[in-house]
Structure 1
């Protein structure tokens, strides 16, 4: 198979990102540096990235209810990571979080070692929306609600949610449901701060049409790829 596909199946990165890694001279097949992503390799070849051998991994897909206080990273010097919530046999498959929830955020998170799946899910052109439930430190006014729906400036551009509504949930007026298309870093917290609002709780409820209902905080389940895509595209709860 092509070298860039091999690296993706080893969990190194997506095929597109693997092409960049190969062209930068970071990959060897045997003792030879290879810069052509189309180079054919087999499972018997010894392939290394930055001097570290990589091996063909069976793709695995997890859905997790991320708890508050954990970072979406494979390793971190200061805080516990979501990878630490899964057993060693799954960690050995080089899984990583798809997209990010910041340390203080909670809710639905997908983890995998399949770079192509990761790219298919998070690339803006894929169009998979994400739904969040947010507890603010005070109720929104009607004026603020209207303004927020139209979009607020973040880093020199106007950013608006796909939808924003006040939820019928106590404390009244402080819980809002926000649907995002793009998902910039800390987007909800930045939009809230524009109105001098603080976010007390930020919970991701949906990825696409897949909805978090059953998993308790810190729990995860392993899902087959076909079922995972069906949940994301057609709906269902985990």
Structure 2
């Protein structure tokens, strides 16, 4: 465990120019209208879900191709075909990747029946494409959230087997001692198993605040780890996710991921990298 001088460097931040970033953030899926594509791949590349989940939709009879229910997993379709999954019409749009600096009191969902502000409201009209949040942040948790329509990437980033690193800045109601923080390195017993923290950094001039990384995404994990020591989180912010940071992204704003960032994410979860020059 190391010490950290409290506070963040402040300075004037200039939001990213969306037009300049769009080319780096999208990659066209260069399938011709007559090229055959496996149905589960089509569904994943339309941003609906992962290929594995697509197979479950197909087997359950929830997929229609050109108006007919299709349950054969090996089915192939063409770009021009009509594909409907669970009532939703799908199409092969370009892959889009965004990084959002989520605000407090914003819900990590695509819509909310109680009309509360969602992350989709914070990127409304941003791309013209349908994107989805990768994982969740609690309503009162701020910080870094990735959104994409790349179903395979989203599924793997959320899958525990890939152990994607997430780093949080945590403020607590009562300060935690160095010994208590070191317990996280060994692991603390929660109701659903042992939880460990990594790269723990204690703020020297703010005993109520520390930084900690985790490699799993259990529900309310950081908050429950703090509650293990008899106190509560007063402020929680995700400052890093899979190597991405919030640099130059003010609260409530977003930017497109850059080409190297996209391919770094894909390599991290053992997916092939994308050729951004294809078709040019």
Conservation of the 8 A alpha-carbon contact between 1:61 and 1:225: no
User: Is 1:99 matched up with 2:99?
Assistant: no
User: Is 1:203 matched up with 2:240?
Assistant: no
Query: Could you tell me which residue of structure 2 aligns to residue 214 of structure 1?
Result: 248
Query: Could you tell me which residue of structure 1 aligns to residue 156 of structure 2?
Result: 120
User: Is 1:187 matched up with 2:224?
Assistant: no
Moved more, 225-234 or 136-145: 225-234
Conservation of the 8 A alpha-carbon contact between 2:47 and 2:150: yes
Conservation of the 8 A alpha-carbon contact between 2:61 and 2:69: yes
What is the rounded CA distance, in whole Å, between the counterparts of 1:115 and 1:77 in structure 2?
24
Relative contact order higher in (CA < 8 Å, ≥ 6 apart): 2
Query: Could you tell me which residue of structure 2 aligns to residue 146 of structure 1?
Result: 182
Conservation of the 8 A alpha-carbon contact between 1:60 and 1:224: no
What is the rounded CA distance, in whole Å, between the counterparts of 1:201 and 1:29 in structure 2?
48
- TM-score (structure 1 length as normaliser): 0.90
Query: Could you tell me which residue of structure 2 aligns to residue 69 of structure 1?
Result: 105
What is the rounded CA distance, in whole Å, between the counterparts of 1:178 and 1:52 in structure 2?
40
Conservation of the 8 A alpha-carbon contact between 2:102 and 2:143: yes
Change (3 A) 1:34 1:207: same
Conservation of the 8 A alpha-carbon contact between 1:74 and 1:82: yes
Counting matched residue pairs gives: 231
Give the alignment's Cα RMSD to 1 decimal. Answer: 2.0
Conservation of the 8 A alpha-carbon contact between 2:43 and 2:54: yes
| SS class of match (2:93) | coil
User: Is 1:110 matched up with 2:146?
Assistant: yes
User: Is 1:83 matched up with 2:120?
Assistant: yes
What is the rounded CA distance, in whole Å, between the counterparts of 2:48 and 2:222 in structure 1?
30
Structure 1: state its 5+ residue gaps.
none
| 1:228 Cα deviation from its structure 2 partner | 2.7
| 1:130 Cα deviation from its structure 2 partner | 0.8
Conservation of the 8 A alpha-carbon contact between 2:158 and 2:217: no
| 1:212 Cα deviation from its structure 2 partner | 1.4
Aligned 1:138-177 pairs, distance under 5 A: 138-168=174-204, 170=205, 172-177=206-211
What is the rounded CA distance, in whole Å, between the counterparts of 1:232 and 1:55 in structure 2?
22
Change (3 A) 1:67 1:23: same
| 1:7 Cα deviation from its structure 2 partner | 0.5
Q: Which of these residues, 94, 98, 101, is aligned with residue 58 of structure 1?
A: 94
Write the deviation string for residues 52-71 of structure 1: whole angstroms up to 9, x where unpaired. 32222111000111111101
Moved more, 135-144 or 193-202: 135-144
| 1:209 Cα deviation from its structure 2 partner | 2.0
- TM-score (structure 2 length as normaliser): 0.77
